Structure 1
């Protein structure tokens, strides 16, 4: 199933095996092996192929007939930015840079706790209908929390 669907998705994007190989940093022979069912891509390559071909890994693997996730609207797909663009945006804003400092090195449990806290904070903002003309700085957020939770 994977070999057939990979070929279908590649051709639908108008790519040759060589062009796809270049986009995912591998060789034409590797793509040929995937499409001829001589080998199977590792998970990280499978995700990369799905991203480049704008399909889901579940579709490539034959687990679903939905090519793209139903939860992603066309406008969300257009707004999707590359990881490099997002990272550069965070580096350009000192508050975000210091906020994210150390996150990648945190343990999985610490990351879960940070995300859980962030989602709770966003819910509180929505309930309070917080609207600012600019995003609050990290200092503003921490000071506001100190005032609300002495």
Structure 2
């Protein structure tokens, strides 16, 4: 079920496996494995895929036939709020305002471009962060000693 729905949602968004892989910081082969039922995404990846494809995780897993998260339940009030209302709530926060300024009014093409840049930045940060966590090579250590 997951494999078929993932492929359907990806194609409905007009994305190739490679493009979807870029959005979720993985490889085309990983997406292919998900779509061919050779592997199953972990929970975090499943949520990320659902967000990118604008579907619910329940729909991807076959638990419901409602694909689109048209509205999200509000916290204890029982009423439903749209995604735009939730985003507006974030914009009301001064720190988030400058980051999200104009996003709601942007065209779909502009929003797509903003998201693409955001995922690229996250991927670059993740790559830099991984390198920083590695132990320095013997070459790096000797070069640092030479500088002193």
Any stretches of 5+ residues in structure 1 without a counterpart?
93-150
Say if 2:83 is the partner of 1:77.
yes
1:58, 1:10 → 2: CA distance?
16
Tell me which structure has the larger Cα radius of gyration: 1
Superposition pairs for residues 85-124 of structure 1, below 5 Å?
88-89=95-96
Higher strand residue share: 2
Question: Displacement, 1:68?
Answer: 1.9
Other-structure match for 1:15: 15
Question: Displacement, 1:80?
Answer: 4.9
Q: Under a length normalisation based on structure 2, what TM-score does the superposition of the two structures give?
A: 0.52
Q: 1:80 to 1:7 in 2, by over 3 A?
A: farther
- 1:31-79 C-alpha deviation (Å, 9 max, x unpaired): 0000000000000000000000000000000000011246449x82345
> What is the Cα-based RMSD across aligned positions, in Å?
3.0
Q: Under a length normalisation based on structure 1, what TM-score does the superposition of the two structures give?
A: 0.51
- Structure 1 outlier segments of 4+, above 6 Å: 84-87
Question: Displacement, 1:25?
Answer: 0.4
Other-structure match for 1:5: 5
Any stretches of 5+ residues in structure 2 without a counterpart?
74-80, 100-148
Mapped contact 2:71–2:82 kept (Cα < 8 A): no
1:40, 1:14 → 2: CA distance?
22
